[in-house]
Structures are given as structure tokens and as C-alpha cells.
A = this chain, B = another copy of it.
Amino acid sequence: MQKTISLTDSHLTELIHKAGMRPSVQRIAVLSHIANERTHPTADELYSVLASKYPSLSRTTVYNSLHALVEAGLVRELEIESGNKHYDLAPQPEHSHFICRICGKIYDMALPDGLEKMATPGFCIDCVDLYFKGICPDCNTNNN
């Protein structure tokens, strides 16, 4: 089992504040879920989970918060699943992602250094996304 470090709300508040945004309850909730659950949720998954805790929460607010957090560089958008954007905490070691075709779960994977050197000279690279697709160990076991 992997040890996870929980980011407290006051720490997240500080991060949001430093990014020049107001640390609203909703933004903290969104960022906290992404940072501490590490499930790479979609906007809709975030809404479903948080709506029970914050009954007045609007889907639009989740989208607004995500956009603001991405803009601030605190959150990163994953385009690993067609038609559904997933979100991951940004300030952490660079890594790649794997999505299981059966259960849909997204896992963190290693990312080799210097991949951007693969690019043809003359191109200015500011973002590298490496996505793997296949079957995860859990689903592989269950289907045997």
C-alpha cells in the first residue's frame, strides 16, 4: 500500500492565495479532492462527490474552479480518455499516465527524462503528455 501525504486545507488555501485567487470553499474542496484522493477525477465525478458535502454546489462552479486552478498551474488536465477530461495535481514530479480499458482507472507511471529532445529542432515545446492504454493488473487477474 502506498503512503500518501495529505495536504491540509490551510496549505491548499495558501497555494490558491499565492496564485492570486480567492481561496473559496469550493476551490479548496476541488483542489483538496484532486490532491488528496489522487483518483484523477473528471469534472462530473468531482461534482458528484462534492455535491453531497456542499449541497448548493453548481456544476458550473466545478468547471470554473478547475479552469482557475489549471490557469494557476496548480492542476493539470489529462486528455487520456476521449470525451472526458481528467484532472491531476500539477506540482509534483513529472510522470506519465496509464488508463485501464476495462475499469477505467488511471494510474501514475514513470516518465523518461528529456523526452522533449525527441522533437524536431526549431520547435518550442512547453508540454509533454505521455499516455499508456491497456489492462491493469487488477483487471488482468480478475479475467483469468
Chain A residues within CB distance 8 Å of chain B? 77, 79-80, 82, 85, 96, 98, 101, 107, 109-112, 115-116, 118-120, 122-137, 140
Contact = CB atoms under 8 A, between A and B. Distances in A.
Count this chain's copies in the assembly. 2
A136 B118 contact: no
Given A112-B118, A119-B98, A130 B133 contact: no
A38 B140 CA distance: 37
A88 to B, nearest CB: 15
A42 B129 CA distance: 20
16 contacts: A77-B82, A79-B79, A82-B85, A98-B123, A107-B123, A111-B118, A118-B130, A123-B132, A123-B136, A124-B135, A124-B136, A127-B131, A127-B133, A129-B129, A129-B133, A130-B130
Given A118-B111, A120-B109, A122-B140, A134 B127 contact: yes
